[in-house]
Each structure stands twice: as C-alpha cells, then as structure tokens.
Amino acid sequence: MESFKKVLVTGGAGFIGSTFIRKILKEYNCEIFNIDKLNYASDLSSITNLKESKKRHSHFKLDLKDFKKTIEIITFLKPDLIVNFAAESHVDRSLDNPGAFVENNIISTLNLLEASRFYFNNLPSSKKENFLIHHISTDEVFGTLGKYGSFNEKTKFDPRSPYSASKAASDHLVLAWHHSYGIPTKITNCSNNYGPYQFPEKLIPLTIIKCLNFENIPIYGNGLQVRDWLHAEDHIDAIIKVIEKGSIGKTYCIGGFGEKNNLDVVKTICSHFDQISPNKKPYSELINFVKDRPGHDKRYSINSSIIQKELNWSPKYNFKDGIFETISWYINNQDWIFKVMQRSNFKGERMGINKNLHN
C-alpha cells in the first residue's frame, strides 16, 4: 500500500468501503479520494470523525452512471490505485427494482473501467507500472451449494437474483478489460460481511434492532439457509493482502470460516440479549417465520485456501467473538441507528415482495 500515494475509493461511504477507508487512514499515509453518490445506505460520519480524515480524505458526490463526469474526475485526481466498492447490494431490493441494479452495478462498472482505460493509456510507462484497479465482488455470483463443498476461484458463475447477476456481469467486465485492454486489475469475491456501521436492512443489524425494540424478527422460510460469515475488518485485511501481493488479472475468494444458518445467527443474537437485557419473555419468541424470498440460495461456503497459502491471510475474528462485539457496538450506537434509518426512511419493513414490473 505504501507505493500508492493517491487512492481512489468508489462507494467509500458504504459499509465495507468506509471500513476500508478508516483502516487506510489509520495505518497508511496515502491520500484518499472517496467517490460516493450518497444513497440511502451511505454514511460518512465514521470517516469524518477521524482526525486523519481532515487532511487525507476528500469526498466527491458523483454517480458513476455519469460517464463524462467520471472520466473528468479520474483524469483530474490522477489516482495510483482504484478500489471499487460501489454497488447496490441488497437482494431484496434487487427483486423489487432489478433495473437499478443493472444500472448501478453494470453500467457504472463499465463507465469506471472505460474512464480508467482512458486515464491509463495516457500515463507514462513509469506510472503504468504502479497503477491498479481492485474490484470488490461477492460469493453470490456462484449461486447456491448443497450440503457439501465450497466455492473457490474455479467455480462457475450461476447467479440466482438480479443482484448476483449484476455483480457477475461486473466481474466479467473487469476481467475482459484486463485481457482486452491490458488494464491491471484484481478481483476479490467475499462471503457475507457483518460488523459495525452496516445498514440496518441486513440480517444481523436488523435482528439486533428488532431485539432492541422488542419487535418481531422476520425469518425467511425455515431459516436454514447457510452463510459463511466474514467480519468486515477481516475482509479489509484480505483486500489489502491482495492489493499488495496478489497477481494481476487474478481473482481471490475470501471466506470467514463462519458457516451458520440464518436461524442460528438470530438465536445467537436473541440469547445474548437474554443475558444482557432480560425481558419477561425470551427474545427467541420474537422470531416470526415468513414466506421465503424468491430464488433464495440455500448455502454459501468459500474455500479460502489460495489466499491463505499464497498471501498468508487468515481471519482474526471467530464468529462468536465477532457477533458479540457487533451486538455491543449497535447497543452503544443507537443514535447512529436512529439517524441512518430516519434519513433513509427505512423502518425495518420487509422488501423483495413488490411485484410491479420494471419500466
């Protein structure tokens, strides 16, 4: 990371992007340029509250769907490293509005690549040797697993939702621009992230909020869908390893070694609340089984052996410690929860059931 003096982060006001920026500001000395259009799930407070951000972090409100402005800002900022976190990421919202995911995850990635290609082609040779685009993706592009086996770097894409299909397409674009135009790129596909500052629509923060308010906790189907839970800080450590030591043009899979089904995750959170804030009834009685999500993937699991062996990465958090730390953070930061939910007008309602056609 020390060789990159100017780092451009797209989607840096989102959950994972902001985690990356905080880490870089605290541990490295580069300048951070943060492009984020500031949608419903964006929040800059976790970055701007850092003293390091005042001198080395700049935010630019820009929608990557605007190609002209994208190429102008990249040419103006002259980054050495571009880390692309920008994406719409909630499966339920993609079921309601698939067109937005095509625009934000595919067209925006295309514009970023084309703007970067223009910039890269005009760099002197010495600068080209120290330029990189790192693209952040998901294990959901691989589809679903049965009881056994894990995804790895050779797993074929088999997306099952508009979200995962749009991310799969963006991965293909990044690889194509590397092979067709010689743009230095790397890709990481991660498992489900959790940790502080995650927008409350996702399973773990939503369950915590429902427990705080003693409200019904929705569980899709039977709740036995398995996810490989990865703490966001472990994810960022892995990304940095890939940026520093990974091979150009290669894809790396990042998993958290934390396979849990959704019902067990929710019961773990409920059990923790039983201990720290006992109520008349166990919190598990708040669990409410609802109609399953269409096309709901049954199991995700990532084999991270390549990044472990080649880049010497392994997660620091086990799920038990990570989830308890995460619960504590949300309990102690209820003002943040209130602020982001009020600003986005999200009230904890279910999504993914709007049957209106995209137009």
pTM of the entire predicted model: 0.96
Domain 6-195+230-258+300-317 has CATH 3.40.50.720: yes
Q: How far apart are CA 18 and CA 252, in angstroms?
A: 21
Looking at residue 346, its pLDDT comes to 92
Q: Average pLDDT, stretch 323-352? A: 94
In the residue annotation, 66 being an active-site residue is answered as no
pLDDT of residue 359: 47
Q: What digits encode the pLDDT tens for the residues 54-108?
A: 999 999 999 999 999 999 999 999 999 999 999 999 999 999 999 999 999 999 9
For the question of residue 36 being annotated catalytic, the response is: no
Percentage of the chain exceeding pLDDT 90: 95
Average pLDDT over residues 28-44: 96
pLDDT score recorded for residue 350: 85
> What's the alpha-carbon Rg for the chain, to the nearest Å?
20
Average pLDDT, the chain: 96
Q: How confident is the model at residue 356 (pLDDT cuts 50, 70, 90)?
A: low
Of the listed 36, 140, 228, 259, which one is catalytic? 140
Which residue among 31, 43, 139, 171 is the active-site one? Answer: 139
Active site residue 163: yes
pLDDT number for residue 358: 53
Read off the pLDDT of residues 183-210 as tens digits, 9 standing for 90 and up: 999 999 999 999 999 999 999 999 999 9
Q: Which one from 119, 163, 252, 283 is the annotated catalytic residue? A: 163
